[in-house]
Amino acid sequence: MKISIDHISEKPLALHSQEPALSFPLLAQMQADGTCSFIGPVRCDATVVREYDHVRVTGRITVPVALVCSRCLVDYESLLDSSFTIIFRKATAEEGVLEEETELSEQDLIASCYHGDEIDMTHEIEEQISMEVPVQPLCGDSCKGLCPECGTDLNHDTCSCSASQFNFKFSALKDFKASR
């Protein structure tokens, strides 16, 4: 999604964009890595307004994805949904100079720079989507996962394995004997 600076005024400008997920380099890389599969287009609805010396873009991005549950290994579909606010400022020559240490304000965390007569939202859109992809996807909050002994999907079946709880965190210490 590209926004022409000349079309932005004091009045809010509403924009709608729908693009294939694989047209975004980061999303194509995520799909190639097997992180997730994008099964529909990226939809972006945004409101753009000029404020003083900057441009504020507020909006929402959605994209349907196919994920693999980290507990039961079942494929499932979900909708990634992200709301955002980004403030764009025209880049200056001083932008490339790095200071030793700078404390960032909340305003700095949502700010970005643009060059020329248009704002290219590609990087910001793919960044918003990538932050919404769960690190450990779950098909549901109540997913019971797989039996650690026989591999049965405990969401659909029960198994006859021992019901004793086994804590894998300290399994290396189970035969440890302390000597005095």
CA-CA distance, 29 to 148, in Å (whole number)?
32
For residue 98, being part of any structural domain is answered with: yes
- The pLDDT tens digits for 126-158 are 888 999 999 999 988 898 888 888 878 888 888
- The pLDDT tens digits for 101-123 are 555 445 545 666 666 777 788 88
pTM, 2 dp: 0.71
Q: How many folded domains does the chain comprise?
A: 1
For residue 160, being part of any structural domain is answered with: no
For residue 62, being part of any structural domain is answered with: yes
Which residues, including other chains, have CB under 8 Å from residue 143's CB and lie 6 or more apart? 69, 71, 72, 155
For residue 150, being part of any structural domain is answered with: no
Q: Which domain holds residue 126?
A: 2-143
For the ranges 5-19, 58-72, 102-116, 140-154, the lowest mean pLDDT is seen at: 102-116
Q: Is the pLDDT of residue 4 over 80?
A: no
